[in-house]
Amino acid sequence: MSNKFFNLMFLAVALVFASCSSDDDNSPSGPITIIIEGADVAPEVGGPNQQNQVYVDLSTNTSTSVQRDSWDLGFYSGSEFRVALNGSISMAAAELSTTDIDAVNSSNQEVIDLQPIVKTNTYTDDSTPFVDNPNGDITGTAIAEVSDTDSSNKVYLVNLGYEVGTNTPATGSIEINGDSRGWMKIRVLKDENNYVLQYAELDATTHQEVTISKRNNYNFTFFSFNTNSEVDAEPVTNNWDLNFTVFTNLIPQFGPYVYSDFVTNNSKADVAVYMIDTEVESELSYEDFTLADVVDTNFNFNDQRGIGSSWRNGGGPGALPSLKENVFYIVNDTDGNLYKLKFLAMDNESGERGNPEFVYSLLQ
């Protein structure tokens, strides 16, 4: 938290909400024991290298941080058998024509043809199929749904993206990428309600295999090639609302593009956000906004980019990104509580990027 933490906090109240059976309104669905009013929060993203993904739970005003290159694949815990890529480190994946993982290597013509476009920031739509749908729809992963039929599950060429950067950039700039992490090959099968992951370095002639179980109460089970093991990344599904992260988005005609200073909402747990631009809706202000001003139909529960990068100006030639002071957000959290949220800073007092700060309050 920043040094200013709690300087806007004027009340901590104990609230117990009645459970709600309807899925169609924004009434709280469970008890919240403590709500902090006017909390001032500074997620520890990590400065200009932005090495951390920070998960924020608004109802308890708590944060969970994980280094963003500590995991590679997320194995979905829901009813579908889907595998997500770590877009925060620019991962990408392409299906190959074979099911024989040991036969794949860097000399295969199919691999040679794919490598130039199985990556981010190529500035072409040709790379779009090789990254996960940025809206968070689990049916839009680059890796197809795992089939019950083994012969239908092909080998994938996986671009591991980049290590977290360690260089210190010019003040106000960023250095998110370190060395390239190279390539892997993987194949994913099913064993009843478990995943079976086969994986190896691209030119290896043998592979490793591990069984990965779905985790109740979590969006994903995460796996790291660095540790050859499952790792903890996200908190329990209902224990986070927002994630501050580097993020692979899609730009029409320009394909996958990696954004810094990005914020996602936990759409898999029905967290939704909409933005208010006071230059457009001049009658609204953050200070005076109340529960009566909420427009339920403005929430999009099917997109995790409710905030995204919209809280900052993008910058450009000769200009660094900067905070948008004319916008604020309405957040529907995992329990159906409603908050207003406004960003206060994206840099610290020294002008170093990767130091976001925001204030939020419960609407009641």
Inside any domain, residue 2: no
Instruction: Give me the pLDDT at residue 319, please.
Output: 82
Q: Which two tokens stand for residue 100?
A: 């024989």
Measure the CA–CA gap between 57 and 148, rounded to whole angstroms: 37
Single pTM value for the model: 0.89
Model pLDDT, residue 317: 73
CB contact burial 308-342 (16+ within 10 A = b; e otherwise): bbbbbeeeeeeebbebbeebbbbbbbbbbbbbbbb
Q: Which of 202, 231, 260 is the last residue of a domain?
A: 231
Q: What are the pLDDT tens digits along the chain (364 aa)?
A: 443 333 333 333 333 333 333 333 333 334 334 455 667 899 999 999 999 999 999 999 999 999 999 999 999 999 999 999 999 999 999 999 999 999 999 999 999 999 999 999 999 999 999 999 999 999 999 999 999 999 999 999 999 999 999 999 999 999 999 999 999 999 999 999 999 999 999 999 999 999 999 999 999 999 999 999 999 999 999 999 999 999 999 999 999 999 999 999 999 999 999 999 999 999 999 999 999 999 999 999 999 999 999 999 987 777 889 999 999 999 999 999 999 999 999 999 999 999 999 999 999 8
Pair (86, 224) in one structural domain: yes
Contact yes or no for 360/340 (Cβ under 8 A): yes
Confidence at residue 20, expressed as pLDDT on a 0 to 100 scale = 34
Q: Which amino acid is at 130?
A: F
- Please check whether residues 91 and 222 belong to one and the same domain: yes
Q: Where does a domain end: 182, 208, 231?
A: 231
> Does one domain contain both 245 and 308?
yes
Give how many domains the chain has, as a whole number. Answer: 2
- According to the model, what pLDDT value does residue 9 have? 38
Handedness of CA 81, 214, 143, 175 (dihedral sign): positive
Clarify whether residues 219 and 172 are in a common domain: yes
Residues 21 and 156 in one domain: no
In a domain, 6, yes or no: no
3 falls within a domain = no
Domain for residue 273, yes or no? yes
Residues 45 and 133 in one domain: no
Q: Same structural domain for residues 225 and 199?
A: yes
- In whole angstroms, how far apart are CA 22 and each of 30, 78, 81? 12, 21, 28
Domain presence at residue 4: no
In this structure, how many other beta carbons lie within 10 angstroms of the beta carbon of residue 167? Answer: 9
Helix (H, G, I), strand (E, B) or coil at 174: coil
286 with 256, same domain: the answer is: yes
Whether residue 301 is found in the same domain as residue 255: yes
Whether residue 166 sits in one domain with residue 47: no
- Shared domain check, 81 and 212: yes
Assess if residue 173 is contained within a domain.
yes
The CA distance from 250 to 166, in Å, is: 26
156, 89: one domain: yes
Residue 5 lies in a domain: no
Q: Which of 178, 209, 231 is the last residue of a domain?
A: 231
C-alpha 212/C-alpha 220 separation (Å) is: 11
Domain that holds residue 300: 11-66+240-362
Sign of CA dihedral 306, 307, 308, 311: positive
